[in-house]
Amino acid sequence: KNKQPHLIPSFKLHAIILLIPFAINQILFFGFNLDVSFYLAFNVSFIIANQVFYSTQLKTHEKSTVAILIDSGIYIFLLVCLILYWSKLFVLSIKIINWVLLFYALLYVLIAIQRFFKQRNEISFNQYKIILKLSVLLLVSTFLIYLITSSGRILVELFFNFELVGVYAFYFRLAAIVVMIHQVINIAFFKKIYTFRPRILDKYYYLFFIFIFILSISIYIFAPLIVSHFSEYFNATFENYKAIYFILSAQMVMWIASALNSNIIDRENLASKNNIKFLILIVFAIALMYILKPWLTLSLLAYILYSVIFLACIIQYFSLKLKQIIFFKSALSLTIIYLLTSAYYFLIF
């Protein structure tokens, strides 16, 4: 809503700024023997940062197909490596993956330099500072909501052990299948999410949440009939950890809701309004876990995280309501889903 078209050319400078830590990473690895794991992780971060940067611009102009390809770039590269490995054209190793990803990262280096020199006369560092200033509160808000939705494995390691981190991560990924649908919707309707009236969005959101919930629980119900044929790990752990799988399946609905709500929060310039509330919610959740530590189980920890994400969604709706933007159906559908799944969890598990 804060239109400043004169700033658009200076966005090109962002890709150049990303080259600085990337170059430092190369110097540390090739000149000072930086551990290959850290080197590889940073190169992957550089690639993903560029993918998000360029795909977001394409989604804004409704160029969805190209945006999907760019968003999936690193996975396509890794898939090509896997196909070549299966074809026995080379031996797959960390060294090979390292060089493949470095080559891919260098493509973004060339693109950044080419785009910069093409419009260098229109780019202003002062304008870029304005962009950064406008983005700070949004960055903090994004970090906090990401911390709320994606801190599960860190907390499992903190309160339990690496074995249970593996269990949690396995069922988290299994439950996250439905998130792919959200990603497709987010790419296909990115611009519409930022331009449609709230009443129309509320209607589509609540129907989408119900659909995702039904799909997620259906996958949970039928997973033992399907996944058992492909995963021995699933067969060995499902009976003991099906409560985790159930909670994580329900949690994905809240995860998707928080992500979609964030688009509206950003659109209405309300990101800063939620930062303190999110921070208090995070502190309260961690304090609660420490209080319950003698009785804390993996499924209870997952349920607390599920509740925190639900409360984060309600905070988002409350902030919108203060600006007379009502998402009643969406909030009601999430509340009903939360109450139903909570009742099932405590009665069955």
pLDDT in tens, 217-239: 999 999 999 998 888 999 999 99
Encoding tokens for residue 3? 């239109």
Lowest mean pLDDT among 41-55, 115-129, 213-227: 115-129
Among 34-43, 140-149, 164-173, 199-208, name the one with the lowest average pLDDT.
140-149
The CA distances from residue 322 to 62, 118, 345, in Å, are: 31, 44, 33
Using the predicted structure, report yes or no on whether residue 4 has a pLDDT greater than 90.
no
Tell which residue, 159, 147, 152, 148, has the closest CA to residue 289: 159
Mean pLDDT value of segment 308-337? 94
Is the pLDDT at 10 greater than 70, yes or no?
A: no
The arithmetic mean of pLDDT across residues 169-188, rounded, is 84
Residue 277 is predicted with a pLDDT of: 92
Question: In this structure, which long-range contacts are made by residues 37-43, counting pairs with CB atoms below 8 Å and at least 24 apart in sequence?
Answer: 39/98, 40/94, 40/97, 40/98, 40/101, 43/98, 43/101, 43/102, 43/105
Structure confidence at residue 66 (pLDDT): 83
The predicted structure's pLDDT at residue 19: 94
- Mean per-residue pLDDT, 253-276: 86
How many Cβ atoms from other residues are within 10 Å of residue 157's Cβ?
A: 13
Supply the pLDDT for residue 220. Answer: 95
Q: Is the dihedral of CA 138, 144, 147, 148 positive or negative?
A: negative
pLDDT at residue 194, as a whole number: 64
Residue 175 pLDDT > 80: yes
- Evaluate if residue 5 carries a pLDDT over 60: no
Cα–Cα distance for residue pair 152/196, rounded to 1 Å: 33
CA–CA distance, 237 with 229 (Å, rounded to integer): 14
Local structure of residue 177 (DSSP, 8 states): G
Averaged pLDDT, 305-320: 95
3 band by pLDDT with thresholds 50, 70 and 90: low
265 closest CA partner among 318, 203, 191? 318
Q: Which helix (H) or strand (E) holds 330?
A: helix 328-348
Residue with tokens 């490596």: 81
Distant-in-sequence, close-in-space partners of 345: CB < 8 Å, separation ≥ 6:
243, 246, 247, 299, 303
- 């994004």: which residue's tokens? 142
338-343 long-range contacts, Cβ below 8 Å, gap at least 24? 338/250, 338/254, 338/306, 338/307, 338/310, 341/246, 341/247, 341/250, 341/306, 342/303, 342/307
Q: CA-CA distances (angstroms) from residue 81 to 36, 64, 98, 267?
A: 19, 25, 11, 39
29 pLDDT tier (thresholds 50, 70, 90): very high
